[in-house]
Structure 1
Amino acid sequence: MSVKRILVTGGAGFIGSHLCKKLLKQGHEVVCLDNYFTGSKANVVGLLSYPGFEIVRQDTTYPMHFEVDEIYNLACPASPVHYQHNPIKTIKTSVLGAINVLDLACYLGAKVLHASTSEVYGDPCIHPQTEDYWGNVNPIGSRSCYDEGKRCAETVFFDTYRQSGLDIKVIRIFNTYGPNMHPNDGRVVSNFIVQALRGEDITIYGDGKQTRSFCYVDDLIDAMVTMMNTEQGFIGPVNLGNSAEFTILELAEKVLSLSCSRSKLVFRPLPQDDPKQRRPDITLAKLKLGWEPLVDLEEGLKYTIDYFRRILA
């Protein structure tokens, strides 16, 4: 295997840090770019022992100048509490960030993978969601900065492909969890685990009957690297996630059981535009990548609970 020099934007984030580690273990050189808005230096400082690893503090809304062979574009706040904190900044990161990444990739002739999201489907009218579904998205809601920003970023990637023939890859990430999640990111898995470990009430929005699928981060990273290494011409988009479906109430009960917590469940109103169902159809990933998740929810939750026990201590 030839050694590549690879840029990972958002490399100090939850998913980005795992990706950096995977690529380094494969023997590649990695440039981790992050502005630390939601990423953390603590996620990647342990990787400095690899001679081919470097960290650059920069925002993707500014032009980038690197000499690399491949680019993984992960930079963007991905949880509602973070992307709604500064919605204009979120849109800029999605759209201007995509443009700047593509400008660099076109200049270098580098292959580039864009991490899109299941949020492009909005509150879906079909279930499970397939890649040819155009979505049901509110363009002016409180989640729109992220949903529409990511949709526009996909447009920029596909138009660049059609215009220049750049080797692009587009994936749509469904709910992912695991170590290195931010304890205050507002995502349902981290929320429930942190509340359970602290003995606080577990907050369920709505009646808890809405469903999600949960993919352990190691499974997702394997799929991302496999997608990057597919032949030129297969560009996606490809759904990446776990097709096993659980209600939010089932997730809360699993967290309570595995953490041995005595926390109580409390119910709050459902936020605007919160999807009632979210589960990927991963037929295309199975066919083109030979991939499907291996870690079930209970096993993945055990690893994640152990991680939060350490950092909360």
Structure 2
Amino acid sequence: MARLLVTGGAGFLGSHLCGRLVELGHQVVCADNFSTGSRDNIRQLLAVPAFELIEHDVTLPLDLDVDGIYHLASPAAPIHYQNDPIRTTRTNVLGAINMLDLARSRGTRILQASTSEVYGDPEVHPQPETYWGRVNPIGTRSCYNEGKRCAETLFFDYWREARTEIKVARIFNTYGPNMHPDDGRVVSNFIVQAIRGEPLTIYGTGSQTRSFCYVDDLVDGLLRLMASPADFTGPANIGNPHEVTMIELAEHVLRLVGGGSKLEFRPLPSDDPRQRCPDISLMRAALGWRPRISLEDGLRQTVAYFQRRLATA
């Protein structure tokens, strides 16, 4: 049993990670300021003795006795991180510094939840970890993209200078239960719109591609990376290499939800990447990890979650 800190633990990914860690027998400290996280995501965990919630903003230092840190705290959906871009940058940069300082003072391992957004609008496809990316440093998405890139820089500087044990995961599009219905991500957008009988909003021509990883597979990847040998720092891509267009995704959702929703096309947002797909050769070869849940099965479970949530609301 270990005492583990999960920052952003009340968010979509964080809540699933907290639940899995508790199931594995660990004591879990969830730190969240609830700027985008939700108490509903962790409500069942609040009654578990091994789970502790502290309300904390990672832009401020934190002093805790812990055996490991999963640093997930950051708004991740464009509608959230673009709402207050200065705060987003502060969260990613100051949050990384504060959590790295905690890891250094405790002599413990820390995992950074980075993102595929560090690759920007890529010229290399699929994206391997060796690709440095093509990012607009002054665009409307830069607060998140560059904030995460700076956080990666800090992690490797602490590793080189202070010998802090680090793990860096580059997370590609993930979906599943506990997503916020109004977070603006394409999977939740399509499902909620279809359930409500509204048109499904497609930006651009709908030919741009993404690859979607179900949250259970993603959590498996994080756990495996955290437990890997000390000299395996990453960065490591964690995502599903199965690639679909936005129109194909919309058709998947409509088949599962039913109803008569149509497709509604709108202009493509600024700096929206044309394609995004992970090369997971490193995680597969080094740690034996690959996603196992198909898009069809994952979407079915996610649709069921949103149907229950919207019916309750």
Q: CA deviation at 1:95?
A: 0.3
TM-score, normalised with respect to structure 2: 0.99
Match in the other structure for 2:39: 41
Distance 1:283 1:78 in 2: 25
Match in the other structure for 1:67: 65
Which of residues 250, 265, 268 in structure 2 aligns to 1:267? 265
Partner SS, residue 44 of structure 1: helix
Gap runs ≥5 in structure 1 = none
Distance 2:32 2:7 in 1: 6
Distance 1:230 1:282 in 2: 16
Which of residues 91, 94, 107 in structure 2 aligns to 1:93? 91
CA offset digits 1:116-140 (Å, max 9, x no partner): 0000000000100000000000000
Q: CA deviation at 1:49?
A: 2.7
Gap runs ≥5 in structure 2 = none
Match in the other structure for 1:300: 298
Matched, 1:287 2:285: yes
Q: CA deviation at 1:288?
A: 1.3
Partner SS, residue 99 of structure 2: helix
Aligned-partner residue type, residue 199 of structure 1: G
Aligned-partner residue type, residue 308 of structure 2: R
Match in the other structure for 2:146: 148
Report runs of 4+ in structure 1 exceeding 3 Å deviation. Answer: none
Distance 2:245 2:112 in 1: 29
Match in the other structure for 2:193: 195
Partner SS, residue 56 of structure 1: strand
Aligned-partner residue type, residue 134 of structure 2: N
CA RMSD, 1 decimal: 0.5
Match in the other structure for 2:82: 84
Distance 1:141 1:93 in 2: 18
Distance 1:57 1:45 in 2: 14
Distance 1:9 1:289 in 2: 24
Distance 1:39 1:228 in 2: 23
Query: Residues 135-214 of structure 1: matches in 2 within 5 Å?
Result: 135-214=133-212
TM-score, normalised with respect to structure 1: 0.99
Aligned-partner residue type, residue 90 of structure 2: K
Match in the other structure for 1:115: 113
Matched, 1:17 2:15: yes
Distance 1:211 1:266 in 2: 17
Q: CA deviation at 1:289?
A: 1.4
Distance 1:100 1:262 in 2: 49
Q: CA deviation at 1:50?
A: 1.9
Distance 1:106 1:187 in 2: 35
Distance 2:78 2:7 in 1: 20
Q: CA deviation at 1:261?
A: 2.4
